[in-house]
Structure 1
């Protein structure tokens, strides 16, 4: 969710419109006008006016029953985000190769602040069910890709994440900062992360970092398999190979241009 201070800087009308769009979640894909007003904490009259503008532009659409959902035009604009689009285009051939070889779930994620965002996921045939979706956010402390992204994040980001309560997903989830710090150290030492039944009790995830031309970690790729079938050390070489291939395929970062004096 967008931080309140960030919304304040956009101006009252834009801030309210963004707040209105934020009430839609994977669990709330379709809402009535009154439900939108309640979740956004705005008067119904304000929501009615903003909704009309958002529908006219295409950010929202109204169905035959009078409920609203995210519009196709907003998805079209969002799909142009350079971090997700360019990265996904470069990575997709290698993700598909990894999926075809293993027939398992393959995922690609980037860090956004103190969370991760999945930019691609390929579901393997008969693969273990996962709780992720493209465009979805997740904690950095539980998944394989999250542990990779957190392990190579700036120290201030790590401290911010570890200073907060850590969500438990299963009995195996690491919920203390000491446990997570140890996992991050292991990730940096061996070059890949292992999430063993941290999110669901039937899944094992192995993830590796994707580097840009400057050597910075810009994403993480993972393979999610059924727990107890294939050990992590047997999966790791495949994931590392895919991550390195994606890293080599990424275009060089364009040099920054100093503004004219």
Structure 2
């Protein structure tokens, strides 16, 4: 729960509802009313009416009799936000073509108030794929998407992003060489780095640029070598395809294009 001790204007009922939504969003399984109350340090009676309203408004669903889980209503509301909806609708065909050409999965991530959020994802065309689910929050410091979003931000934006960064469990703090790394990414136009989360995966990340050469989003391929298909695109070829996809998407959005070399 939020610490409201110093808030000038308090709305306890609203805070209670948001606490419930945030708790259920962070929980993989459904919870009982008693479990929710215990996790929020409140009595079951205290949250009964709020749960009832959230169910009636379809933000929460009652399942298996006495258990509650989050619905997709918040997800749907987020995608009604016009800029994100337009970005995703324009990105999906480009991402689909990338996945076909590279035989790899890819995802699109944006920066949103301290978080890096995956807003679109495309599986590889084969029966296997390494992918990140839509809605996932990933690290600003330990992912290719986070690096690209930082590298292609203005100095003022970067300062703000780091100040309001939402810490992730895998974060080990700000890397000592981060500034040099971001300068290198901006010069060459992409990030290529081993995954900090999974062995054998390389994060290939490129920016979708806005009019002032800042990143609207990061397009990332979690590259896995295809040992079953010797003729499948290698990592260098996948990066070239990804850079072309970034240029296409930037052009579709009426923005600048990425100028880059090769890894």
Q: TM-score range by the shorter chain?
A: 0.7 to 0.9
- 1:178 aligns to what SS in structure 2? coil
Relative to structure 1, the CA distance from residue 158 to residue 182 in structure 2 (aligned partners, 3 Å threshold; closer, same or farther) is: farther
Distance 1:57 1:161 in 2: 31
* Residue 122 of structure 1: how far off its partner (Å): 0.9
Give the drift of 1:108: 0.4
Partner SS, residue 199 of structure 2: coil
Distance 1:165 1:135 in 2: 16
Is this contact kept in 1: 2:141–2:175, CA < 8 A? Answer: no
Residue of structure 2 equivalent to 1:196? 194
**C-alpha distance in 2, partners of 1:159/1:58?**
35
Q: What corresponds to 1:239 in structure 2?
A: 242
- 1:48 CA drift (Å): 0.8
Q: C-alpha displacement at 1:197, in angstroms?
A: 2.9
- Distance in 1 separating the partners of 2:72 and 2:118: 20
Deviation at 1:232, TM superposition (A): 4.5
Q: Which residue of 1 aligns with 2:61?
A: 61
Counterpart CA distance in 2 for 1:62 and 1:104 is 38
Q: Deviations over 1:138-193 (max 9, x none)?
A: 1111221111012223231355379x988548xxxx86522333321221111001
Whole-angstrom CA distance in 2 between matches of 1:15 and 1:168: 28
Which aligned segments of 4 or more residues in structure 1 are displaced greater than 4 angstroms? 2-5, 164-169, 227-232
Aligned positions, number: 243
Counterpart of 1:225 in structure 2 is: 223
Query: Does residue 1:129 correspond to 2:130, yes or no?
Result: yes
Taking structure 2 as the reference length, the TM-score comes to 0.80
Alignment of 1:90-169 (within 5 A): 90-124=90-124, 125-130=126-131, 132-153=132-153, 154-157=157-160, 159-160=162-163, 168=170
Structure 1 residue 22, shift from structure 2 partner: 0.3
CA distance, structure 2, for counterparts of residue 221 and residue 93 of structure 1: 13
Instruction: Give CA deviations for 1:26-49 in whole Å, capped at 9, x if unaligned.
Output: 643411111212223332212111
Matching of residues 79-90 of structure 1 within 5 Å: 79-90=79-90
- Comparing 90-99 with 29-38, which one deviates more in the overlay? 29-38
Gaps of 5+ in 2: 228-232, 256-263
Structure 1 unmatched ranges of 5 or more: 253-261
Distance in 1 of aligned mates of 2:216 and 2:226: 30
- What CA distance in whole angstroms lies between the structure 1 residues aligned with 2:61 and 2:169? 34
Q: Residues 179 and 108 of structure 1: is their aligned pair in 2 closer, same or farther, counting only changes over 3 Å?
A: same
